[in-house]
Structure 1
Amino acid sequence: MTKDNKRVLLTGNDAVVEGLCCAAGSERRIVYAGYPITPASEVATRASVIIPKHGGAFIQMEDEIASIQAIAGAGLTGAIAVTATSGPGFSLMSEGLGFAAMIESPVVCVNVQRGGPSTGMPTWMGQGDMMQARWGTHGERPVIVLVPNSVEETLLLTYEACGLSQKYLVPVIVMLDEIIGHMEEPISIPELPTVQLDPDREIIGNGHRLHRTGLTHDLETNLPKINPDAEEQLVRHLLDKVKKNAQDIIKYETFMDPTEAEVIVICYGSESRSVKAAVKLARKKNLEVAMIRLITAWPFPKDLLQELDKTERVYLVAEINAGQIKTEVERYIKKGRVQGLNLMGGRIHTPGEILDAIEGAFSY
């Protein structure tokens, strides 16, 4: 990490580790438990070198199931607990993410998305895990999902993920894709305040004997309590941590004024870089178009869309999947028209392709 504000050349995967170090500062301990998988392996490689130098622990696990369970335990000890994975590895972590949510362990999971399904395209990008990040475990569970579009933002959102997980005691997933994970950009490592541990939080190994279980349990004792009333109270408590604080969690970027636009392009991740270029080109042709880039994918910015839907317009959702976020947009747009611009994986749209879709939306 640089202390003299010099710019350093990092990949997105490198920036994940730097974001963790910013969150830990000199006061907190990082526990990284992971299993290498393309295209996320470089996160583990850098973590294995950097994190021990900062007083943290790097643990090479036998698989992704062990990785997510290890950090679920580490989160209860007051550590900044993190893992990184991709593709099939993310699927294997699904049960553990639900367990972490159930025991209210603050974990951070970085998913560097690749083309799928199954083994798919390990070295090529995709955005096909967006719905899995939200709904990929059995039962109802809270989750916060952040989606960076640059190396610098990867660092900042990893740092933010640590803070959000500690504040709300929920899993936070940072959804890179292969392009963001492997692209190099010069950035400055910022000096950020250490993510503080809540002094009132009971920590295992610090004078407290705590019981945690994946079973339905009493909120005060955390002991199993298997009945419909306990289930109702527990699950609503878990979900409300995100639901009631959604407006404080949700972040997005607008480019040009969406309230004045006839066409709004909704996007996220690396795809947004092409979208912004396409919007600039469209503006030069005097087309009233704007961009909304999701930074927080979940919770979803439904209030923003419902406010925009007071005026009839076209929403073009550009993403590298078959329309996962488009489906969510359609839930809240009743007056306007929602269209998808989709590729299945391996590359993002070119600005020219997006411009053609924008022009097509105007001529519809």
Structure 2
Amino acid sequence: MTAPRPRPAPDPAVSGGAPPHPVDETLLRELTPAVLGILVRRGVDFATAEDAVQEALLDAVRAWPADPPRDPRGWLVTAAWRRLLDATRADAARRRREDLVHREPEPGPASDTDDTLGLYFLCAHPALSPSSAVALTLRAVGGLTTRQIARAYLVPEATMAQRISRAKRTVSGVRLDRPGDVGTVLRVLYLVFNEGYSGDVDLAAEAIRLTRRLAAVVDHPEPAGLLALMLLHHARRAARIAPDGSLVPLAEQDRGRWDTAAIAEGIEILHGALARDRLGEYQAQAAIAALHADAPTAAETDWPQIVEWYDELVRLTDSPVARLNRAVAVGEADGPRAGLAALAGLDPALPRHTAVAAWLHECDGDRAGAARLYAQAAHQAPNLAERAHLTRQAARLNAGPAGPV
């Protein structure tokens, strides 16, 4: 099996000179995990260190426009440390931290040690629920504010603040001197990516940014595989939704609206990961996405090779979802009867099982059965957009005979 060859990216356009912001918010977000990691490595508990870093970021927003620092990270470390000193002096109950502060010298230039990887592991700690791990990752590693995270997840800010506070307390006693599970971190980042866009934060773009940073500090091909997968999926984003807000299936998308630069980068990253010969589930998923992205038209999709990659994915994960998607690929490669045979051994309660069955029955010419299954799938749909799409499919088949599928 092979992945498609990298497609050359178009020359980037020269951007116009937009007026600069007083403070580079992207830089602040990039520096957040490094500063937090320095404080935690010095022995400050996670919750207290995170609060101090947030206060230092506010200090930077106020001070940097008039007096930009030469060493932004060192400035933030010093500001956060002083916040810790202030809190210690103001609260007699924190004598332990006061002793710690007085043992440590006033920080000068920040160390070159990168604690970002440790923070990824800490924020994806097994003791945290998936939702708490996602929120803490966005706050501590992503540098987002509680308000931004709350808006992204469409929950009250107070609710998100409580979730983050509980997560911080859970991991406060965990040190950064032990390796964590890369697979858990990747699952958390993929959860962030699949939230897409809501509120004023583009979580898909944020997940790509964080995964790109993780791939740069982990000597393992799977973070690169996840990054490639995200880029390849994100490249199709503009074509997924019609102007009226309805879903556009992959086969019907305008491929001219796909982001060819993101596709080229994703395929190039995937090739680099596959070359290391340590295949993992995200690399296999990225290979499938690359074959879709590389096909000039839906009719030219290399379905037999996609089936082979799904075979690899099933071997790696034994995931029912992978088996379900494999049934779709088998239906495309070998015909709807073969697809239905592949579907037969799966649990009908599996999400999207009914929708896949409806599509395979329609391809096999059973329009009445397909219409019934589409209507049933619409009732099971997890969101309004998918429900509307499946309802339209049922109505189309119930309207009367049409041409061949």
TM-score calculated relative to the size of structure 1: 0.29
Judging by fraction of residues, say which structure has more helix.
Answer: 2
Higher Cα Rg, which structure: 2
TM-score calculated relative to the size of structure 2: 0.27
Greater relative contact order: 1 or 2 (C-alpha under 8 angstroms, separation 6 or more)?
Answer: 1
